[in-house]
């Protein structure tokens, strides 16, 4: 149960699940769940990238 809940907190699971559904037509997580989670993760990391580029330091975290 611990690993299942930990993997469900990983946005990469939902992105891979969407690709799996697109290729095979089979999904572990409903598409109505995986699409919004993947979109939120995409928007979050896009925001991090924009802030990092505007900051201009280009250093690692």
Predicted pLDDT at 36: 94
Dump pLDDT digits (tens) for 17-60.
999 999 999 998 998 999 999 999 999 999 998 988 888 866 66
Predicted pLDDT at 59: 66
Residue 30 neighbours by CB under 8 Å, 6+ apart: none
> Domain spans of the chain?
2-55
Predicted pLDDT at 60: 65
The model's pTM is 0.73
Predicted pLDDT at 22: 93
């Amino acid at each position: 149960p611990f690993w299942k809940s930990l993997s469900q907190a990983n946005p990469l699971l939902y992105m891979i699940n969407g690709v799996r559904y697109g290729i095979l037509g089979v999904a572990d997580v409903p598409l109505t769940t995986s699409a919004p989670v993947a979109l939120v993760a995409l928007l979050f990391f896009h925001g991090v990238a924009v802030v990092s580029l505007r900051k201009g330091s280009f250093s690692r975290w």
